[in-house]
Structure 1
Amino acid sequence: MTKASHSLKVALMASAASFLLASAAAAQTTDPAAVPPPVAKSAGQKRVYAPADFARFAPKTAYDMLVQVPGFSIRGADQERGLGQASENVLINGQRIANKSGGAIDQLQRISASSVERIEIVDAASLGIAGLSGQVANVIVKQNQKSAGQFEYRPHFRAHFAKPEFLAGSVSYNGKTGPLDYTLSIKNSPGRGAFGGPVYIRNGDGVLTERRREVYHSEYDQANMQAKFGLDGPGSSVGNLTLGYTPYWNPAFQQDHRTILATDEHRTRTITTKLDGYYADINGDYEFALGPGRLKLIGVRHWEHEPLLQDLILRFDTTGAPDTGSRFSRDTHIGETIFRGEYGWKTGKNDFQVSLERAFNSLDQKGALFTLDPEGEFVPFPFPNGTGKVTEVRYEGIGTWSRPLASNLNLQVAAGAEISELDRVDDDQAPRKFFRPKGSVTLGWQPKPSWDLSLKLRRRVGQISFYDFLAQPKLADDRENAGNPELVPPQSWEAETEFAHDLGKWGKTRLNLHYYRVEDIIDVIPIGDDEEGIGNLPRADRYGFESVSTIQLDPTGFKGAKVDLTFGVEWTKVKDPLTHETRAISGIRDKWWSVQLRHDVPGTSWAWSAYAERNHYTKYFFLTEINQNLDLPYFAGVYVENKNVLGTTVRFSVDNIIESRHRVWRTVFDGFRDRSPLLFFQKQNQLVGPIFTLSIKGNF
């Protein structure tokens, strides 16, 4: 047994022992009563949940309450251009959190559950907020909230390959002084990735030519430090200021030992990656009465520094030939500045809002390539397209009109456009200018108190990555994405409809149907005569559905139990730029489902859960290869929880109990795949192993 594996086992045993001992000490503590499952109370077109509805879950934060709302799926903010229209289906006190620092979901994780007055589930069309559709959660937080703190310690361990994570967790504190409320927090959100096992290489005739044994692990940490201040007044005015600074570290190690079967030659390839950077944000807004309505001014400033260094070295263990290799370094500075104004007023039953926004985005990259010489030194290699600066200036104007057409029917119409100038600053091409209309029409209908239906039609402009304007080598796959200065954002016509049915004591179910017709879809295209890169294809189609349900099992006699069910399918089609045949869009999640049983044992502080899920993704279609990466395509886990261990909630989880694996298939061609012979097939079916997590969550 290695020292590392021994330390891991000791840590796991200590974590499990501390959990069991603390739980045993509190085993005599019971809930005051067997609390029934959450059942919404109707208030007009709203469904209202009180804090008492979530008592059985002993929530510590406002987010803990929201995730237990039956049949509701939390949707985070899209990475929209600028702030744009709302996309996050969560509001706080009726307000959209329009910033780039995590939005409403992130703030709810920093707010004590004792500060929540109620949670309202409303139809988006009844709100004067452009961009939303379907069911929206409005979390009402008490204005006179008392000072409170929240903490969570969440170490986790993988049984194989990865290093343990001992520093995962968060601490936040909310307080109020006169008209000023504040939240101070620090949160480490780590990520661990690891797998290992065989890799098989076969030639174009299917003959096994090479075996590899590969190990990969990465350890990601980011320490988000945030201070949020809210100002109530003077008068009816309100303001918010959020300051955030987040350093991050992301080292990665990948190594494989290779055996060339024809000659029994042995080689070792090692790839090391270092990425230590930071990002910082300032988000501020101020809303006040002006004339017949209210004006809200919003400002955002975002900085990021991303220095990347990656080395690849191939050693010839048998022949003793000089090592070969390459190095890619990239020093990138990213910036975003947004100014936005929203003016809203009401006349009779009509709600109006006009918004104007200016956004400036920039990416400044200094990239370099090196090759390893026979003396073991990295020497520069020409890489002119790896350095450059990309900027975009964008102006957007949107007008929104909302009105109830009947007591149970709401309409919202938003219309506007954006004007932008996109420039690769360091080349000799003139900046490109664009005009793009955008907007939406949303209908919300409640034919019966237990039914909610919505329909949304939208014209949308998507996001692009400025990295794709510049060359980006993929050392591990011996491939390079050439820079594409002609890249443009995709645009789409979108239709979505949602049906939600309240099942009363049985729970709630929801079905979403969608169809998107996308123009200038982002995919891999030919660049020049023999290069490939990220670019635009003329059009693509996406259509599918998702069903989300919460089934309460109390009526069956299984008291304190519920089942959460999700399943969805998406079909996509796009014309391949090489073969001109219709295929799926690269890398799209096209099939998914999950089922989770949770049982809060009546009369005790204990709960347990078991879940299983599946996620399937389409193939990636590059010009010289086709590959498919299914990392843990099936996943299952269990946890046991005690909700009153000295006032805290303690949970011990074991994930990937079915030993799902890391699976990759690659078909690589000797040139463009529509005109070149097969070079080799690659297959990986590698061990990941179980994942153990201990969570201790409480208030102070």
Structure 2
Amino acid sequence: MRTSWRCAVLAALVLAAGSAQAAETGTIVYDAAFFADARPNTAYDMVQRLPGFSFTNTGSARGFAGTAGNVLVDGQRPTAKSDDLQSILTRIPAADVDRIELIRGGAPGIDMQGLTIVANVILKKKDSTEYVLDLEDNVFLGDGHTAPNASLQFTKHAGDATYEASLTRYGSFDDSVGNGFRRVTDETTGVTTWQNAHSSGFGSGGGITAAATDPLWGGTFKGNLALQDSPFLARATYFGGPGTLYLVDHSVGRHAEVGLHWNGNFGKIEDETLVLERVGFSKDVNTSSQVGDREIFHSSNTTDETIFRETLRYPLTPNLMLQTGGEFAYNSLNGFSAFFDNGVSIPLPDAKAFVDEKRGEVFGQGTWKIAPAWTLEAGARFEFTEVGEQSDTTQSRSFFYPKPRAVLTWAPDKDDQVRLRYEKVVGQLDFGNFVATSNLGGTGVTAGNSQLRPDQRSQYELSYEHHFWEKGAVVLQLVHEDITDVVDFVPVTAPDGTIFDAPGNIGNGQNNQINLQATLPLDWAGITHGLLKSTFDFQLSSVPDPVTGINRVISGERPQDIELNFTQDIDSLKSTWGVFYYNCWDEHYFRLAQTQHRKVNPPYLTAFWEYKPTPQWSLHFEVDNFGQFIYDNTLFNYAGPRDTAPLDSIDFRSFHSQPRIYIQIRRTFG
């Protein structure tokens, strides 16, 4: 089966090559005039309008490799992690953007960050000073609670120097909260218990960012600082039945980071140096209370991350760019967890753990313009990792993984591209999986597991991209993955003999994915300046269940993602309006004595109107979730291991979400 799939990919590429025409560059340039009809406020608004491009935000993995997102600024990746890519682009005024380059399949001098498509935002070189005041509010129409946001941003360009700062107060929320019910069926007696329910979830935090870019040593130096505070409080109450049940989860997260970035040239060699220091603290208290029964779970973690990355690029010829370098990262987590049942302490596996990781990576690659129509990007990374842990046991483990990668791009003309990619991708150990966590209202306590190994994926990708009608594009992507050491749930035993579920490796599996993205201008249908962007993403994984031995999907995988986003720019009204549809999601989880099915039932619908009377003023009004989706969570609880024990109960919970009004007022000064 796998061999035939790979042969089909190669055959498709050969057939496509048979109809080759004259080739042109794989980079499409969109200047500021292309976005004028949409009157964008920020660089992020402009990126969202790129034909055939789907924005990917900054990743959360440790280190820089694999966390960059798919947008560059002036050819460089941001040296920040706490401050994500979307936030950075949102703080860049659209008036400061000269053009955006859509780079497909690789280009000499551009670090593609392991991606096949990236957008490169090129800023104007002009002196200016701007202040932006942004006021927002989210009003839930069900219970009336609000989640306001406010920010003040400063940007100054002076010659080749840029200075930026922002102060933000933000409100976070869970959009699936509302009124609902709980239905528990005892499969032994057939008795069903009903309870009414109400849930809420919100937080109020803040953040400070600052950055400075200056010429230094013949190159460009940038330093950035970010401070964040993000508390969150979630509540759920179940009334009636055996007695009122109160669930409370209160979490706090604080992060601080400093990043340094220098880029310059030594003759023909381009040097890029990145340094980052990041520290964090998180605390969580999860409580379940009912008459005669009270459970409390405490956890706290402190984290530290230090990264140094050096990259050298050398143009051997005008058509061949070589790149080499290395990255070193040190990460640590000091975690503590405790579980109390009616005041009695329950021992947990790895309840207190100190984990540190020393990871080094060296890499080399070349980007070769073989012919006007053909580009090959190939290279390899070699990862060396040592993980030490002090918990129930003291141990140290080492890993070594070679990670080859190759992308072959064929561009028969300026509108079409075919790309073939092979890559070995290695996952990353989640430090949070080394210590216990809890969900007392559902899956209970999940233990830590010090024996985890990262999953390894061999990826094979074939993609085709076609641009049309200036603003139209379609991208079809087929991906097959062979996965070693799939990370899922396994049973582990506590010191007192109690068995808990924990993250663990369950064997080998595979995953197949089909992704179709389309950008369709609607002028032909009489909708002037109308645009429909759509995403259709389908995937199916398979892995042997460690309990039953039967193949099933990987826990947490969402089999489909369908999004439709319609917008229309109306010049006479200085406005843009639109409607967004999302088919929502569902996912399954498999534990030793429980399976879980979480589902958000479609549709999720949003309608908005944005009015910009002048370049300085912007008013955005939006009605979110006016279809009021329903969130279902079903727990199938067994009397013991699922392969031998009967089904004990079915715990079904359903919440009817609330529509929400979002209002934004934005004023630019300068």
> Same fold judged by TM-score > 0.5?
yes
Q: CA deviation at 1:353?
A: 1.3
Q: 1:92 touches 1:104 (CA, 8 Å); kept in 2?
A: no
In structure 2, the partner of 1:655 is 624
* Structure 2 counterpart of 1:139, from 108, 111, 121: 121
Q: CA deviation at 1:45?
A: 3.1
Q: 2:221 touches 2:260 (CA, 8 Å); kept in 1?
A: yes
2:362 partner letter: G
Q: CA deviation at 1:383?
A: 4.3
Q: CA deviation at 1:258?
A: 3.3
Q: CA deviation at 1:460?
A: 1.2
Per-residue CA deviation, residues 96-128 of structure 1 (Å, 9 max, x unaligned), is 224324454432211111111111111242244
Of 80-89 and 530-539, more deviation after overlay is shown by: 80-89
1:65/1:698 Cα in 2 relative to 1: closer, same or farther (>3 Å)? farther
Q: CA deviation at 1:584?
A: 0.7
Q: 2:286 touches 2:438 (CA, 8 Å); kept in 1?
A: no
In structure 2, the partner of 1:402 is 367
Measure, in 2, the Cα distance between the counterparts of 1:590 and 1:383: 34
1:533 partner letter: A
Per-residue CA deviation, residues 587-611 of structure 1 (Å, 9 max, x unaligned), is 1111121212212224221322122
1:398 partner letter: F
In structure 2, the partner of 1:83 is 64
In structure 2, the partner of 1:464 is 429
In structure 1, the partner of 2:339 is 369
Per-residue CA deviation, residues 186-225 of structure 1 (Å, 9 max, x unaligned), is 2344321212211111121583421111111111233221
Q: CA deviation at 1:506?
A: 6.1
1:577/1:460 Cα in 2 relative to 1: closer, same or farther (>3 Å)? same
In structure 1, the partner of 2:18 is none
In structure 1, the partner of 2:505 is 536
Q: Does 1:227 align with 2:210?
A: yes
In structure 2, the partner of 1:200 is 183
Q: CA deviation at 1:570?
A: 0.4
* Structure 2 counterpart of 1:452, from 401, 417, 421: 417
In structure 2, the partner of 1:190 is 171
* Structure 2 counterpart of 1:579, from 544, 548, 558: 548
In structure 2, the partner of 1:51 is 32
2:351 partner letter: G
In structure 1, the partner of 2:591 is 622
Per-residue CA deviation, residues 250-308 of structure 1 (Å, 9 max, x unaligned), is 1121111131xxxxxx4011122222331111111112323541222211111111121
In structure 2, the partner of 1:435 is 400
| Secondary structure in structure 2 of the residue aligned to 1:618 | strand
Q: Does 1:214 align with 2:197?
A: yes
* Structure 1 counterpart of 2:98, from 117, 131, 137: 117
1:443/1:603 Cα in 2 relative to 1: closer, same or farther (>3 Å)? same
1:416/1:607 Cα in 2 relative to 1: closer, same or farther (>3 Å)? closer
2:226 partner letter: G
Q: 1:240 touches 1:284 (CA, 8 Å); kept in 2?
A: yes
In structure 2, the partner of 1:492 is 457
In structure 1, the partner of 2:476 is 511
In structure 2, the partner of 1:308 is 284
Measure, in 1, the Cα distance between the counterparts of 2:87 and 2:254: 19
Q: CA deviation at 1:568?
A: 1.5
Q: CA deviation at 1:86?
A: 6.5
Q: What is the identity percentage for the equivalent residue pairs of Structure 1 and Structure 2?
A: 23
Q: CA deviation at 1:499?
A: 1.3
Q: 2:628 touches 2:657 (CA, 8 Å); kept in 1?
A: yes
| Secondary structure in structure 1 of the residue aligned to 2:88 | helix
Q: CA deviation at 1:177?
A: 4.2
* RMSD between aligned residues: 2.1
Of 205-214 and 113-122, more deviation after overlay is shown by: 205-214
- 1:98-497 to structure 2, matched below 5 A, reads 98-102=79-83, 104-127=85-108, 128-129=110-111, 131-161=113-143, 163-166=145-148, 168-177=149-158, 179-193=160-174, 194-204=177-187, 207-235=190-218, 237-259=219-241, 266-290=242-266, 292-315=268-291, 323-348=292-317, 349-372=319-342, 378=343, 380-383=345-348, 385-477=350-442, 479-497=444-462
1:581/1:427 Cα in 2 relative to 1: closer, same or farther (>3 Å)? same
Q: CA deviation at 1:176?
A: 2.9
1:693/1:208 Cα in 2 relative to 1: closer, same or farther (>3 Å)? farther
Measure, in 1, the Cα distance between the counterparts of 2:615 and 2:191: 59
1:330/1:67 Cα in 2 relative to 1: closer, same or farther (>3 Å)? same
In structure 1, the partner of 2:13 is none
Measure, in 2, the Cα distance between the counterparts of 1:289 and 1:546: 39
Measure, in 1, the Cα distance between the counterparts of 2:464 and 2:615: 43
Per-residue CA deviation, residues 347-382 of structure 1 (Å, 9 max, x unaligned), is 11321111111111111012222233xxxxx46444
Q: CA deviation at 1:446?
A: 0.9
Q: Does 1:598 align with 2:567?
A: yes
* Structure 2 counterpart of 1:691, from 660, 663, 666: 660
Q: 1:162 touches 1:219 (CA, 8 Å); kept in 2?
A: no
Q: CA deviation at 1:228?
A: 0.9
Q: TM-score, normalised by structure 1?
A: 0.87
Q: 1:618 touches 1:628 (CA, 8 Å); kept in 2?
A: yes
Q: CA deviation at 1:428?
A: 3.5
2:236 partner letter: Q
Q: 1:112 touches 1:149 (CA, 8 Å); kept in 2?
A: no
1:696 partner letter: I
In structure 2, the partner of 1:375 is none
Q: CA deviation at 1:518?
A: 1.4
Q: 1:101 touches 1:283 (CA, 8 Å); kept in 2?
A: no
| Secondary structure in structure 2 of the residue aligned to 1:125 | coil
Measure, in 1, the Cα distance between the counterparts of 2:360 and 2:130: 41
Measure, in 2, the Cα distance between the counterparts of 1:427 and 1:396: 30
1:160/1:136 Cα in 2 relative to 1: closer, same or farther (>3 Å)? same
Q: TM-score, normalised by structure 2?
A: 0.91
1:483/1:630 Cα in 2 relative to 1: closer, same or farther (>3 Å)? same
| Secondary structure in structure 1 of the residue aligned to 2:432 | helix
Measure, in 1, the Cα distance between the counterparts of 2:475 and 2:523: 20
1:437/1:130 Cα in 2 relative to 1: closer, same or farther (>3 Å)? farther
In structure 2, the partner of 1:670 is 639
2:478 partner letter: L
Q: 2:25 touches 2:411 (CA, 8 Å); kept in 1?
A: no
In structure 2, the partner of 1:73 is 54
Q: 1:623 touches 1:673 (CA, 8 Å); kept in 2?
A: yes
Measure, in 1, the Cα distance between the counterparts of 2:460 and 2:133: 41
1:91 partner letter: L
Q: 2:127 touches 2:159 (CA, 8 Å); kept in 1?
A: no
Per-residue CA deviation, residues 614-642 of structure 1 (Å, 9 max, x unaligned), is 13333111111111111354211211221
Q: CA deviation at 1:478?
A: 5.7
1:149 partner letter: Y
Q: Which runs of 5+ in 2 are unaligned?
A: 1-22
Aligned length: 639
Q: 1:195 touches 1:662 (CA, 8 Å); kept in 2?
A: no
Per-residue CA deviation, residues 491-510 of structure 1 (Å, 9 max, x unaligned), is 11112222111112461111
